[in-house]
Chain A
């Protein structure tokens, strides 16, 4: 990576400073979002079940923040990202982008939504067109949105330089000629080409080696500051999420179990699942070895999730009430730190419930 001084740019990169909704308006407001994938079987292909990938999820993303989304594989975090981008269509629920409902009457159109919200995927190779030089891949979006070809190419070159790839060397290369980290830089440049306000990063650094992961994380932090961005950072790596996020959302089997500011989630977790996840982090000190795994078993199948609280099959505090009643993520006192656990609700009837 060649460090690029700000003055090296031929022309300054466009920064989206629009803010029609006002500072206080959340950037994204998600309400009761739901997506069940039907399972069909038999000769008649009748629906026999459903994978409850995302089940009644509500949250908001504030302007300029980084919301980290953590959870184990199969918890629905990637489905959630794709639902937000409308890459898959939700069964129900609403999405409000900066005050404008998405794909509704008098709302923001899908075309404008995608211009304002872009995504970076985990697999840096399969998300680039293998037959396009990376410069053309980056220029593709702006051209579709009405920019002239020459201008788009120039923008692509500037973006390549900005993400630390010399456009004269790398611009004409094809994806297979780049290393994993370089491809991921191209993906980030492409996501920025439409001057979005929100970037969804779906495990964007998970496939990278540790030494280059740090480079890309530094780049993401710089870009966020310089381009006035809001991030949705999806990852299974708790250390990375803690490093980059302002708020953290913990998912388990298609539902939110806990959401709150990063310091509170990491220092005072309220949900037993969050605690188990945090205890599963491995120490770098060989003298500090774990002898007893914090929880047993694997996450259950999202096809037939357990009744009541979905975590109860692995939870050491599970009681009768956990089986019969689903804990809610209620916001009673305007608290920014919420957990969907009966133990945090004094009126739930759980014996360990605290007031």
Chain B
């Protein structure tokens, strides 16, 4: 792979690397097909302390979901080439076998998805689906599993939980379905929760309920959360740290307030400027010209260069490493070199 080795050294290192819950170094994910090889993720490094919330922001095709799925090894091994080092807790995920992964998934790391209807099994009752995970990992009885399921439905704020235990997914509204899925994910008290755009498919009034719930649960249970979203305002609501991804790389990383209020990378700035708000009535929005690059074609230099306003000749030569903007705030842009 053609990425710069500087990326690794300049990657956000925690104060004490040993205490970090999640450590990802130089992650690369390639999808191989007969026609082409797509470099979806290209040298991503980050770490996460226990109880911290990291938001990965990016547009479709930026590799944000692919990064997260790689952490749980959900990509089909036959068509995927994963390189780099991943560790969650005591488990070195990058070296785990499928059998080990199966015991980690759901107990150590769990995941919630964007569309709850397609990720819940339509032919099983909600109670069964929650209890299944508990019975599988805690090796407890069916009755204990169901008691835990009821407790979880209460925890995620489902009204009349006794009745909902026996409901099928199609009988629930979108918001309740998402709550049920959160209950499945939390059933074995994971230390790391991966959330893949969990509020995108929900209505505005329901989205805010789920966000408030997730934040409350995260604080009560002390989980670390990696939250993938394309919506900057969702990140503003829930994140401690933010990583902005573009074309398979992290282009900006830092505390949420710094990234959103004092953004450094031209892409982040462009995203913020092109986010529509009512105050801009009557004037043209400052849109980022062009469209994201085709990931099947490997390109030299900064992948944002073709759309960037402040592009320099040096931008087209090598991939810019993450450079420090201020303490804990980094951007992969040569303007800070």
Which residues in A have some Cβ–Cβ distance to B below 8 Å? Answer: 1, 72-73, 179-182, 209-215, 217-218, 221, 236-240, 242-243, 262, 266, 276-277, 280-299
Contact = CB atoms under 8 A, between A and B. Distances in A.
A239 B276 contact: yes
Interface of B: 59-60, 173-176, 203-209, 211-212, 215, 230-234, 236-237, 239, 256-257, 260-261, 270-272, 274-278, 280-281, 284-292
B278 to A, nearest CB: 3
Contacts of A286: 236-237, 239, 256-257, 260-261
B271 A210 contact: yes
Interface residues of A: mostly helix, strand, loop or mixed? loop
Contacts of A1: 289-290
B209 A72 contact: no
Given A72-B205, A282-B208, A290-B212, A298 B276 contact: no
A251 B316 CA distance: 50
Nearest to B57: A210
Contacts, number: 134
Determine which residue in B260, B281, B290 has the highest number of CB atoms from chain A within 10 A of its CB, and name it: B281
B270 A211 contact: yes
A72 B287 contact: no
Contacts of B278: 239, 242-243, 262, 266
Contact of A283 (B236, B289, B290): B236
Nearest to B285: A214
Contact of A282 (B59, B237, B261): B237
A296 B208 CA distance: 10
Contacts of B256: 286
Contacts of B236: 282-286, 288-289
B230 A243 contact: no
B41 to A, nearest CB: 18
A211 B234 contact: no
Contacts of A298: 173-176, 203, 206
Contacts of B277: 239, 242-243
Contact of B260 (A182, A215, A277, A285): A285
Given A182-B291, A209-B59, A240-B276, A280 B233 contact: no
A102 to B, nearest CB: 32
B13 to A, nearest CB: 23
Nearest to B277: A239
B175 A243 contact: no
A175 to B, nearest CB: 16
Contact of B291 (A179, A221, A288, A289): A179
B260 A213 contact: no
Given A238-B204, A298-B175, A299-B203, A287 B257 contact: yes
A299 B239 CA distance: 28
A298 B116 CA distance: 15
Nearest to A295: B205
Given A285-B236, A299-B173, 10 more contacts: A72-B204, A210-B274, A210-B275, A211-B270, A211-B271, A236-B204, A238-B204, A242-B278, A293-B205, A299-B205
Contacts of B203: 72-73, 236, 298-299
A280 B205 contact: yes
Contacts of A215: 287-289
B286 to A, nearest CB: 7
A330 to B, nearest CB: 26
9 contacts: A72-B206, A213-B274, A221-B284, A281-B204, A283-B237, A284-B272, A286-B261, A287-B257, A288-B236
B114 to A, nearest CB: 13
Nearest to B259: A286
A291 B212 contact: yes
A73 B173 CA distance: 11
B237 A289 contact: yes
A214 B204 contact: no
Contacts of B232: 210, 284
B272 A218 contact: no
Contacts of B204: 72, 236, 238, 277, 280-281
Contacts of B288: 211, 214-215
Contacts of A277: 204-205
For the complex of A and B, 5 pairs with smallest distance between CB atoms: A242-B278, A214-B287, A214-B274, A282-B233, A298-B173
Nearest to B235: A286
Contacts of B60: 180, 209
Contacts of A295: 205
Contacts of A221: 284
A294 B286 CA distance: 31
A298 B270 CA distance: 34
